[in-house]
Structure 1
Amino acid sequence: MNTRQLVVFVIASIIACSLGSASIQAQENAPNRELNDGSNVLTYRTQYPVDALTSLQQLRLDGFTPSIELGLGSRADRLVNSATLTLNYRYSPAILADISQVNILLNSETIKTISLNADDADTTQTIRVDLPAPLFTDYNRITFELVAQSVNEQCRAPSASTWFEILSGSQLNVNYLQLPVANELAYFPEPFFYRSDFSNVNIPFFLPEQQSTELLTGAGILASYFASETQWRLLDIKPHIYQQKRDLNDQLLTAWGRQHAVVFMTNAQRPAVFKPLPEITQPRVELLDHPLYPQLKVLAVMAPDDAGLIDAAQALAAAAGSLSGAYATFNQFDAEPRAPYAAPNWISTEREVKFSELVNDVSELQRQGVKAPPISVPLRLPPDLFIWQKSGVPLDLEYRYTAPVSNDDSRLLVSINNEFVKSFKLDESGVASGVGELRVPIIDTPILSGNNLELPAFKLGVVNQLQFNFKFSQIGAGCSLQSANSSVGAIDGSSTIDLVGFDHYAQLPDLQLFAKAGYPFSRYDDLSNTLIVLDEKPSLDLLSLFFANIAKMSASTGYPVYNLSVTHVEQVPNNASEDILVLGQSATQQWLARFGDKNLTAQLLGHKLAGQSQLFANPNAVLQNSGPLAALVAFQSPLNPAASVVMQTATSNEHLNMLKERLLSPSDSIQFHGFLSLVSVAGITNYAATQQYFIGDLSFWNQVKYHTAQHPFILVLVVLFAVLVVALGLYRWLRSSAKRKREL
């Protein structure tokens, strides 16, 4: 912690102590009061399960893994006031007492030493450790170091018999003090999202009671910007409705909460607290003080009318990082349509991609220690990557390591999605030795010899983890074993993955592709080929689902949806060529009433679902169930055979939240399959598609080969026909040749 942070901490602590009795612990539904004296102190308490602070599956120390590290990010606008670590643990009965201990360090400073007594061995122990608040910084490392020796050992050789395990239920409790935030757009997207904070992101959006499609389009664009920045964190946009009037006592009616917020307003619609603001003459964004807590900020997205809010949101997303001051004004923004498959997060099929582009920092590609966790490289592939007749994805792998003391069994193990691919022997050279080429298998193939390996293992998915595990052997006898932490392995950032030459072709409907990556809408990362159809009067639950879908797609592509189009059913053109996402029960009913349900009914008939009142009450296939039930359904668009329709609806708007939670959950979203998924309190029920259609850029000849290969009987007929044609041609040629000879 630097001097400035220390001074701020001391001042803030004095304020907190003197005003502790007046500390605000209000919840979202607390009465609203205008506070202009700046005397309120905002505090927050957060609990972090210890196992959530690391990617390790098991928090276990032993002689080969004598230390582990937990990581805790932080927000620059919050100061740690106090922190307590509650630790549940067990340790080995083979540990020698009096000598053995576990040191707990915070940012490299020792905080606590746990003595390991023989009487408490192999029993569950609990200890509470107070962590000094001044030691916390932007990124905090809590380190556990085991210093242990076995009862029967005569030396300090590493041993797996000396273990110390951190048990479930261990947690870190941190109390934060909210610091004042300046009205400065140069830090945007702060204070709404901090890259140094590893927590999931929750941002409240305040909207007027009357929401036009233009206003919702602007709000969706800004939500997508936040989603593209949050990376692996989950983003939840919470919509709220603000009131434009005060009550009879001149108090605010809007529940503004205790968070930094975003508000959308025009000259015609603005919150009561911001009525005194001057008339808006052009699209504008400004950081304003929170109506209740002066430490917090409100980002006001303003325009003379609703259409201008689209320009303001587009320009703000595009200009983030180049803003300065408390406000910025914008002219009309023209977002150029993007090419398909240009998503920054997806591995390009136009060029080789380096591993250094797939991680946040090249330090993530290095590990130290005999039993270090694997190096994990995320691979986001285009959802419609056509892998038929491809033996594998080629990798050009380069790596370095500390050379083994002798020619032992040290190896580099390569896996994908926890499935073993290949191993490389680590010799005395310390480099890849020219054997770094391999292919990640994607279809069932026989095992081949040589540097390129094909395994009958699995098929790559949309989101994958490529894992490299350096396994170092320790050669020696007794006390001469190599030090446990002296072995280092690294994957070079210049290693590449090559998808050049792969085509795009997908069989639809497939809700798995939608739930994982927003496909087919995310083919164009700016959603320039998408129409989102909403109810004319969307509820807060439906708006929450709308923002969740936008966040899901932009988190997958890593790009804001600058060309988002939000509309209602009556505004959809009869010849619309776009992919269409229909949200809400009313919009679903209107869509099916206007455009029919031929393609949907064809799928339902394959499962005998049409006409069953407990699922679909009428030919329009609208959910009419007495209990909570939500549906996600996809089918071919009746307006364009190369486009898709995805509908999301529920028995009531309140039950849309079940669908939203599962779409946002990484573990639940992979459970969606087929053309229809029904979500109830019992889980997710899927129905496979009985009729398929295909989209993509596959050549005509490759389409013929692929589709005939899927139907062997047709292939046999084609071959027989070809043989017949050749035979007839040959017969006619021989007959013609014989006739010419007779004439001679």
Structure 2
Amino acid sequence: MLNQFSAFFGACFIRGILSLPVILLLSVLPVKPALALEHEATFRQLGFQQALNIRGVNGQISVPFSVRADEVVTDASVDLIYNFSPALLEDLSHFNVIVNGEVVQSIPLVKDNAGKTNQRRIDIPIRLIAQFNRLNLELIGHYTLGCEDPAHSSLWLNVSNSSKLRLVTSSLPLNDDLSLLPAPFFDPRDRLPTVVPLVFGGAPNNATIEAAGTVASWLGGLASYRGYSFPVSVGSLPVENNAIVFLLPGQSLPGVNLPVANAPRLTMMVHPGDASKKLLVVSGRDERDLKAAVQALVLGTQSLNGTTVTIDANVGLSPRTPYDAPRWVSSTRPTKFGDLVDPGALQVSGQYPDLIRVPMTMPPDLFFWQAEGIPVNLKHRYTLRAANDKSTLNVSFSEKFIRAIPLRSEQEVSRVEHWVRNLVGKPISSDYAKVKVPREAFSSNGQLELYFHFDVPKAGECADAPIPNIQAAIDKESYIDISDFPKFMHMPELASFANAGYPFTRLADLSETAIVIPAQSDTATLSNLFRLLGRIGDLTGLPAYGFSLIRPNDLQTVQDKDLLLLGNLEADAAFKAWSEFMPITLSDQVWQVKTGGGFKSIIDQWIPALKDERVAPVASFSLRGSEPAGLMMGFESPIESQRSVVAIVGSDQGVKQILDAMLSPEDVQAIRGSVVYSKPGTVTSLLDEKTYSVGSLPILTWIRYYLSGTVWLNLVLLLGAALMFAVVFNRVLKQKAQRRLEKRS
């Protein structure tokens, strides 16, 4: 027996010795991490809508990027596409790529490559990458061996916004903890589009779709400029993404084994098909429980932590007031810039500072007829100039120039002002200015753009040394005030819907909105619906928890609501019954715009100078329902006056194209008028003559405004006034004549 054990252990020892080289070899071979994901984002996707222009002898531009909390970077690089000035000296000029303060690589600017497109891949050491990062691109440029002008026009380097940042990551498992929400479904550090599948355990009814739509609007508001989509699945779990599941009693999904809910409930669990993904399960006894759980999720009415939370369904919500959307400029008080953007975004530095952008979503029905514009009070600070020069603060709104405000120098600050400011504790470098946003620059979803231009005075050869540490800021107490303007506008105007969700977002929770989808809706229709609600949540900053979802046969039950129609509604009889109210007709699957002629069309045809160039004139066009095209139209509700209908109809692909246009910064500018149709690559808008008005005006303003646009009524009133004056004057003269005759007699 002892010999057998000896032989056994001897064999094991020999096999161990023989396998040692194999173990050592495996230990040094590179091992590809499991579940590796490759992310690519262009500089445009990272927030740069235009090319990055770097100027000066030591110019620099920063590109921020971040890493999701549930991922770790295993490889990183940046693909740069750039061009540089032919005047730069090869021996002295170079281009530095800096990550989080450490130079990764210096790129020589070779004379032979100047003036043409260059491409280069730079590997980034992963040890430099944290959760929040900055990629700095620095130009060290010189054009002469002698004295040089640091602001010379030949000192430039242009980096295309098509340049790409590439990150390879592997997943990190997160705990099944509701306190992590909205992660992993949305991570603010992720600048890529948010994709969250919405999964139903069975065919969803209207109330279940309402609950899912509220979640979509919440996620759309969080994702915002990054983009968002919500694929829909019924009865099965997609494995590519984290998903949100809606379950009612009697419904089930493979791998989702949870106890029957006896109250509104939220549960975080591991995806049964992929351990690196998560599921958020919204469950309850009925649809009301689903809505209660969703409201707690999106509004934060209850603390969420742990794996499962039972929701209190008795939490009441106060009704919203008109125009109170969190992302809108307030209609009741002045709105401070600090309420619209992070105060850090209002500060800049350097000889060529970045543009300060303050997004401003305002009610599209602001009525400032005959007003000079919307008042903006600016308080700004900057490094005082050493001498008088041409430095200015340039103010624009939605890329339309408004005013240039001169920046003062030390020589312009008097001793009295020094003394007074020191006495009251105000900095010498603070200035105040008032500007007004004119009507022609107004955009309901625009932004105020502020640029500090610091002049470089010419002091002679070898003396052009700019101030080395220039700082400037817009004070967070600066404000815009729209509280004095009434709300009134002529409809339809699809630009107000595309840019601000109006009129549905007049109440930010959509409590005066009914959404109509086809009686038979597939997953593509629901996905389009959720994406549209994501857009509305993005525009308002508030989840849409107050809307009603109905089908075409229920239209006559709607009262006092604006209607939003979505999907392929051609087969629904109730939709066809509205054809006389629409700006288009449908016959044999052909959409035809109604051409009513009328006075306005005659003016457009015979007096081009009076034509509104923003919108194409009414023209006849045909669009077959079978074509991959989408159609959006606006008209007054046939159910109730001064209520609006916006219909986005067509095939599922056509509706998606309309939504793509609404989410595109370029295409959304082409959406206006009463009819919009979209084909791949094109967006066309048309204006119908038939209009109606919404809102109200003070009585005197209404009389003046109405008379200003009605020539014949002015003539009638003038003739009536003249006739009345003649009658009165004739009577007075007769009385005087009679008294004179009586006096003589």
* TM-score, with length taken from structure 2: 0.84
Higher gyration radius (CA): 2
Q: Deviations over 1:13-43 (max 9, x none)?
A: xx9999956x6xxxxxxxxxxxxxxxxx322
Question: 2:588, 2:706 → 1: CA distance?
Answer: 34
Deviates more, 1:295-304 or 1:412-421: 412-421
Question: 2:558, 2:224 → 1: CA distance?
Answer: 36
Residue of 452, 455, 471 corresponding to 1:473 = 455
Which residue number corresponds to residue 355 of structure 2? 374
Question: 1:233, 1:722 → 2: CA distance?
Answer: 61
- 1:216 and 2:209 matched: yes
* Amino acid paired to 2:364: P
* Amino acid paired to 1:583: L
Q: Deviations over 1:150-198 (max 9, x none)?
A: 2343468453323333346532211011110111111211111112222
Kept after mapping to 2: 8 A contact 1:335/1:563: no
Which residue number corresponds to residue 591 of structure 2? 615
SS of aligned partner of 2:290:
helix
Kept after mapping to 2: 8 A contact 1:374/1:467: yes
Q: Deviations over 1:679-737 (max 9, x none)?
A: 22362333212110001132344333222211222223223323434554565567678
- 1:599 and 2:596 matched: no
Question: 1:83, 1:321 → 2: CA distance?
Answer: 40
Which residue number corresponds to residue 37 of structure 1? none
Which residue number corresponds to residue 378 of structure 2? 397
Which residue number corresponds to residue 665 of structure 1? 664
Kept after mapping to 2: 8 A contact 1:51/1:59: no
CA displacement at 1:578 relative to structure 2: 0.6
- 1:233 and 2:206 matched: no
Question: 1:423, 1:611 → 2: CA distance?
Answer: 55
Question: 1:72, 1:648 → 2: CA distance?
Answer: 36
CA RMSD of aligned residues (A): 3.0
Question: 2:49, 2:673 → 1: CA distance?
Answer: 34
Question: 2:686, 2:81 → 1: CA distance?
Answer: 45
Structure 2, unmatched stretches of 5+, are 1-25, 414-426, 595-620
Deviates more, 1:482-491 or 1:181-190: 482-491
Which residue number corresponds to residue 343 of structure 1? 325
- 1:270 and 2:267 matched: no
- 1:93 and 2:86 matched: yes
Residue of 365, 369, 383 corresponding to 1:388 = 369
Q: Deviations over 1:593-641 (max 9, x none)?
A: 4x533321xx34xxxx6658632599xx998534223211221111101
Question: 2:705, 2:283 → 1: CA distance?
Answer: 53
Which residue number corresponds to residue 501 of structure 1? 484
- 1:151 and 2:151 matched: no
Q: 1:514 to 1:18 in 2, by over 3 A?
A: farther
- 1:307 and 2:288 matched: yes
Q: 1:730 to 1:69 in 2, by over 3 A?
A: same
CA displacement at 1:407 relative to structure 2: 1.1
Residue of 415, 438, 450 corresponding to 2:435 = 438
Question: 2:207, 2:498 → 1: CA distance?
Answer: 26
Residue of 102, 105, 108 corresponding to 1:109 = 102
- 1:642 and 2:642 matched: yes
Kept after mapping to 2: 8 A contact 1:157/1:479: no
Question: 1:729, 1:106 → 2: CA distance?
Answer: 87
- The percent identity for this pair of structures is 28
* Amino acid paired to 1:113: S
* Amino acid paired to 1:439: K
Deviates more, 1:547-556 or 1:312-321: 312-321
* Amino acid paired to 1:441: P
Which residue number corresponds to residue 62 of structure 1? 55
* Amino acid paired to 1:537: Q
Kept after mapping to 2: 8 A contact 1:189/1:320: no
CA displacement at 1:90 relative to structure 2: 3.3
CA displacement at 1:588 relative to structure 2: 6.7
Residue of 579, 583, 590 corresponding to 2:573 = 590
Q: Deviations over 1:642-695 (max 9, x none)?
A: 211222221x33443222322332322232222222222362333212110001
Q: Deviations over 1:451-488 (max 9, x none)?
A: xxxxxxx2411111211111112233233223365222
- 1:190 and 2:172 matched: no
Kept after mapping to 2: 8 A contact 1:66/1:145: yes
Kept after mapping to 2: 8 A contact 1:157/1:480: no
Which residue number corresponds to residue 165 of structure 1? 158
Kept after mapping to 1: 8 A contact 2:658/2:677: no
Q: 1:511 to 1:156 in 2, by over 3 A?
A: closer
* Amino acid paired to 2:560: S
CA displacement at 1:418 relative to structure 2: 2.0
Question: 1:522, 1:341 → 2: CA distance?
Answer: 8
Q: Deviations over 1:336-392 (max 9, x none)?
A: 321111111111121011111121x21211221222232121121111111212111
SS of aligned partner of 2:226:
coil
Question: 1:586, 1:166 → 2: CA distance?
Answer: 47
SS of aligned partner of 1:404:
coil
Question: 2:373, 2:689 → 1: CA distance?
Answer: 29
SS of aligned partner of 1:386:
coil
Question: 2:269, 2:43 → 1: CA distance?
Answer: 37
Q: 1:613 to 1:528 in 2, by over 3 A?
A: closer
CA displacement at 1:321 relative to structure 2: 8.2
CA displacement at 1:528 relative to structure 2: 0.7
Kept after mapping to 2: 8 A contact 1:533/1:583: yes
Kept after mapping to 1: 8 A contact 2:221/2:535: no
* TM-score, with length taken from structure 1: 0.84
Which residue number corresponds to residue 408 of structure 1? 389
Structure 1, unmatched stretches of 5+, are 1-14, 24-40, 244-253, 443-457
SS of aligned partner of 1:553:
helix
Kept after mapping to 1: 8 A contact 2:221/2:538: yes
Q: 1:322 to 1:431 in 2, by over 3 A?
A: farther
Question: 2:27, 2:285 → 1: CA distance?
Answer: 42
Q: 1:336 to 1:570 in 2, by over 3 A?
A: farther
CA displacement at 1:61 relative to structure 2: 2.5
Alignment of 1:428-467 (within 5 A): 428=409, 429=413, 436-442=433-439, 458-467=440-449
Question: 2:725, 2:545 → 1: CA distance?
Answer: 56
Q: 1:265 to 1:631 in 2, by over 3 A?
A: same
Deviates more, 1:673-682 or 1:176-185: 673-682
Kept after mapping to 2: 8 A contact 1:675/1:688: yes
Q: Deviations over 1:265-292 (max 9, x none)?
A: 1112121222x31111011111111112
Kept after mapping to 2: 8 A contact 1:345/1:556: yes
Question: 1:115, 1:47 → 2: CA distance?
Answer: 26
Q: Deviations over 1:292-328 (max 9, x none)?
A: 2222211111111233211211221121783222222
- 1:284 and 2:265 matched: yes
Q: 1:272 to 1:60 in 2, by over 3 A?
A: same
Which residue number corresponds to residue 509 of structure 2? 526
Which residue number corresponds to residue 454 of structure 1? none
Which residue number corresponds to residue 12 of structure 1? none
How many residues matched? 674
- 1:334 and 2:333 matched: no
Q: 1:173 to 1:646 in 2, by over 3 A?
A: same
Which residue number corresponds to residue 335 of structure 2? 353
Q: 1:562 to 1:613 in 2, by over 3 A?
A: closer
Question: 1:698, 1:557 → 2: CA distance?
Answer: 25
* Amino acid paired to 2:590: Q
Q: 1:416 to 1:271 in 2, by over 3 A?
A: same
Residue of 528, 539, 547 corresponding to 2:530 = 547
Kept after mapping to 1: 8 A contact 2:514/2:558: no
* Amino acid paired to 1:515: A
Question: 1:17, 1:504 → 2: CA distance?
Answer: 71
Residue of 221, 231, 241 corresponding to 1:259 = 241
Q: 1:616 to 1:409 in 2, by over 3 A?
A: closer
CA displacement at 1:567 relative to structure 2: 1.3
Which residue number corresponds to residue 617 of structure 2? none
